[in-house]
Structure 1
Amino acid sequence: MKIDAYSHILPARYFERMRELADPRPLKRWLELPALHDVDARLEMMDEFGDDYQQVLTLSSPPIELLAGPDSSPDLARLANESMRELCDKHPDRFPAFVASLPMNDPDAALDELTSAVDHLGARGVQVFTNVNGKPLDDPEFEAIFAEMARRDLPIWMHPTRSAAFPDYAADDTSKYEIWWALGWPYETSAAMARLVFSGLFERHPNIKIITHHMGAMIPYLEGRIRLGWSDQLGSRTATEDAAHLRRDLSRPPVDYFRRFYADTALSGSAIGTRCGLEFFGADNVLFGTDCPFDPEGGPMYIRETIQVIDGLDIPADARERIYHRNIRRLMKQSAS
């Protein structure tokens, strides 16, 4: 069994509403991917991988809070969640679960939608993006959402968001050469992880479960900088930072908290990156995920190559089973059928 823990979809009803709200120019990529919004194309694509391949559905970017203001984002989130529930009900053998979307630009409404989506629609977690219209996730107004997910002991899927409007240099107006995506998204994820760690999230909620997209981004590769550069030298490079306060509030070295995140294998088929992330997070915290359907073939390529990478890892069979399906089932509290 292989359960793809991080695949993206835009259900048809939601997709039509999104097209009404969004600037059509940036949507070109989405329109060219039938498997993203055409469920028949999606199912046909999945057939290549046999009956034991399933997908946990997460809503594709852009974030809901970029599409609609607080006055209408709750309705948009509800449409997304109801539409994904319908897909799971219609195709339970392919889509065993979905992840709820939240109107994060209205934190009170987001908490209401979290409750409704989990309790009434059966969502097995929620998805948040690495910032909310530029506001970091460790902002106090989002604390209740993290606290509630920790209380429920259900996972949070965290997806990067950044656009060309975020320049790479102060002298520029925009990011060039899609640096905002290729390098900016890994930075976004890593920065969000750091903000959550140093704001004390894992101290307040020791058992919180957060799934980072793309194998924890830069964190595994930068283990040395985190382990040595942050542990004993935190604050020494910035005169205005209260290093003593930061060290006092964290009961463990920073790297220990970073290892508590979960990470998927959505690395565009990178065997080197997968081995690095697996060594950092450990087999219990790594989940099979592909980023389907955002590959050059429109869906199957990343699945095929990610499976090839995982099957080629020099790990015990039990560890491979945990990565492929046992870990995500445990996180979602779903037993094997």
Structure 2
Amino acid sequence: MRLDIYTHLFPPGGYMDRVIELVPDKGTVKRWVTLPTLWDVEARMRMIDGFGDYQQVLANTMPPLEQVATPEVAAELARMANDGFAELCAKRPDHFPAFIATLPMNNPEAAVKEIDRAVGMGARGVQIFSNIAGKPLDLPEFLPIFDRMAHHDLPIWLHPARGQAFADYKTEAKSKYEIWWTFGWPYETSAAMARIVFSGLFDRLPNLKIIAHHMGAMVPFFEGRVGPGQDQLGTRTSDEDYGALLASLKKRPVDYFRMFYADTALFGSASGTRCGLDFFGVERSLFASDCPFDPEGGSMFIRETIKILDELQVTDAERHMMFETNARRLLRL
């Protein structure tokens, strides 16, 4: 079985219509409505059937609720999304053996309650974004959410969030050429990972499990910077005592970065996949396609990612770990 642990779908049950009403940029809606496998469950299942022994874990799609809704409305929408996914997975476990819960991250108290409720309905983890409407994840207000996930011993899926309004240069008002997505999203994920590492969160919660989307983003390629480079933390800074922070950590920074899990959603990059496996190891790497956001409407990234994993110079047992057994262990399926 090939178990795809990161695919996006609008939860059934009216959620998509509610979000469309709230999204200020209707340009994003244009893409949604022309991508049936993003919202049509029957179309999605037909696509899945074309890949044989293949199943999908479901996650909500963009936008993060905290970007479009008030704390009260975000909590309502999270409940709607999780109810829709729970019902779908219960009805079609042959296609969708698990779902990832949506959280109202601008309402941390409600988010903790929703974690418990969603896990009780079968959620095998939660999805959070690399920033919460511009706030970093290591703020104290979000700590109860990480505490709760460590209590449940279920993973957090870390998804990047950055838009066109985040300019590439201080002299400009917006990012051009979709640089905010191509290079901005990997930076977002990497920055969030660093904030988690240096906040001491892994020391506080050593069993915390976080899946960094897109094969850990920039981190594997920049192993030298997060390794020997950050072994020198503080030597480039005069206004904060990062040397004391470094001394307070129980491990080297690079060893904390290796505590993340990574998925293979790299849009068909064989070299990127090998780089990520070199850094995280087979034991912390899981098959994911990021379906359905490809030029063919959903099937291309699945097909290309499977091909890359099939051609990797690994043992059959290691390939099986990435395709299925790592996910079953991590998600406790």
Give the distance between the partners of 1:150 and 1:191, measured in 2 at CA: 21
Give the distance between the partners of 2:108 and 2:244, measured in 1 at CA: 28
Q: How many pairs align?
A: 331
Task: Answer yes or no: is the 8 Å Cα contact 2:164–2:175 preserved in 1.
Answer: yes
- Aligned ranges for residues 183-198 of structure 1 at < 5 Å? 183-198=183-198
TM-score by length of 1: 0.97
- What's 2:262 paired with? 263
- What's 1:126 paired with? 126
Deviation of the 1:162 alpha carbon: 0.3
Deviation of the 1:17 alpha carbon: 1.4
Amino acid at match of 2:33: L
5+ long unaligned stretches in structure 2 = none
Give the distance between the partners of 1:83 and 1:60, measured in 2 at CA: 13
Give the distance between the partners of 2:193 and 2:107, measured in 1 at CA: 22
- Cα deviation, 1:113-167, whole Å, max 9, x if unaligned, reads 1111112x11110110000000000011000110111121110001000000100
Give the distance between the partners of 1:193 and 1:255, measured in 2 at CA: 11
Give the distance between the partners of 2:240 and 2:314, measured in 1 at CA: 42
Give the distance between the partners of 1:325 and 1:279, measured in 2 at CA: 19
- What's 2:162 paired with? 162
SS of alignment partner, residue 49 of structure 1? coil
Task: Answer yes or no: is the 8 Å Cα contact 2:11–2:82 preserved in 1.
Answer: no
Deviation of the 1:26 alpha carbon: 2.3
- What's 2:287 paired with? 288
Task: Answer yes or no: is the 8 Å Cα contact 2:197–2:256 preserved in 1.
Answer: yes
Give the distance between the partners of 1:71 and 1:283, measured in 2 at CA: 41
Deviation of the 1:329 alpha carbon: 0.6
- What's 1:22 paired with? 23
- Aligned ranges for residues 210-229 of structure 1 at < 5 Å? 210-229=210-229
5+ long unaligned stretches in structure 1 = none
- Cα deviation, 1:156-214, whole Å, max 9, x if unaligned, reads 00100000010011111000000000000000000000000000011001111000110
Give the distance between the partners of 1:209 and 1:116, measured in 2 at CA: 19
| Match among 36, 46, 56 for residue 34 of structure 1 | 36
Give the distance between the partners of 1:100 and 1:210, measured in 2 at CA: 14
Give the distance between the partners of 2:84 and 2:68, measured in 1 at CA: 17
Q: Say if 2:319 is the partner of 1:320.
A: yes
Deviation of the 1:43 alpha carbon: 0.8
Deviation of the 1:22 alpha carbon: 1.5
Give the distance between the partners of 2:40 and 2:207, measured in 1 at CA: 37
Q: Say if 2:48 is the partner of 1:46.
A: yes
Give the distance between the partners of 1:268 and 1:277, measured in 2 at CA: 14
Task: Answer yes or no: is the 8 Å Cα contact 2:163–2:180 preserved in 1.
Answer: yes
Task: Answer yes or no: is the 8 Å Cα contact 2:233–2:242 preserved in 1.
Answer: yes
Larger mean CA deviation between 11-20 and 202-211 belongs to: 11-20
- Aligned ranges for residues 51-200 of structure 1 at < 5 Å? 52-119=53-120, 121-200=121-200
SS of alignment partner, residue 72 of structure 1? helix
| Aligned-CA RMSD value | 0.8
SS of alignment partner, residue 215 of structure 1? helix
- What's 2:234 paired with? 235
TM-score by length of 2: 0.98
Amino acid at match of 2:42: D
Give the distance between the partners of 2:68 and 2:83, measured in 1 at CA: 18
Amino acid at match of 1:135: K
Q: Say if 2:245 is the partner of 1:246.
A: yes
Deviation of the 1:247 alpha carbon: 1.3
SS of alignment partner, residue 277 of structure 1? helix
SS of alignment partner, residue 299 of structure 1? coil
SS of alignment partner, residue 268 of structure 2? coil
Give the distance between the partners of 2:145 and 2:72, measured in 1 at CA: 19
Deviation of the 1:25 alpha carbon: 2.2
Give the distance between the partners of 1:259 and 1:183, measured in 2 at CA: 22
Q: Say if 2:5 is the partner of 1:9.
A: no
Amino acid at match of 1:178: E
Deviation of the 1:241 alpha carbon: 2.0
